[in-house]
A = this chain, B = another copy of it.
Amino acid sequence: MERNTRQRNAILDAISEAGRPLSTQEILAAGQAVVPSLSIATVYRTLKDLTAESWILPVKLPGEADRYEMTQLGDHYHFKCSACSRVFDIHERIKKSNLLVPRDFVIEKYDLILYGRCSECQPKP
C-alpha cells in the first residue's frame, strides 16, 4: 500500500493494542469503533498486506480461522479460553529436552496450544 489511511491505521492499532491475537471479527469490531464504515473486505485486504510486510503474523489454531498478532512478540505459545473463546499469549518456553521423538526424527518447530479458563472466566465458587 502506498497511502496512509484511517482504515489501515485503525486495524494496525487494534492489533497492536490488543496484547493478544485477534480474530477478523474482533479486528472488524475494534476498527469500526474508530472508523464506523470499515468493511470486512478492507479488514481482509489490510491483514494480507500487513502480513506480507511482516507487521503481523497469523495465529493458527486447529479448526479455527486465523487470528493475528504483532510479529515482534518472539517465541511464545497460546491459551484459548473455552468460555469466552479469546486467545492469550503465554510467554514461556518448554525445555526442548522435554520434547521426545523417535530417533531419526528432527524437530524444526512446535506449537503448544493450551485450553482452559482465563482469569475472567473462572466458575463462581
Q: Report the Cα distance A104→B103, complex, angstroms.
A: 38
Contact of A9 with B by CB under 8 A: no
Q: Is A53 an interface residue (CB 8 A)?
A: no
Number of copies of this protein chain within its complex: 2
User: A113 — which chain B residues lie within 8 A by C-beta?
Assistant: 110-113
The interface size bin for chain A is: 35 or more
- The reply to whether B98 and A118 contact each other, CB–CB distance below 8 Å, is no
Give me the 3 closest cross-chain CB pairs, A-B, nearest first: A60-B62, A104-B119, A108-B116
Residues of A within 8 A of B (CB): 60-63, 66, 79, 82, 88, 90, 92, 94-95, 98-119, 122
Asked if A107 contacts B100 (CB within 8 A), the reply is: no
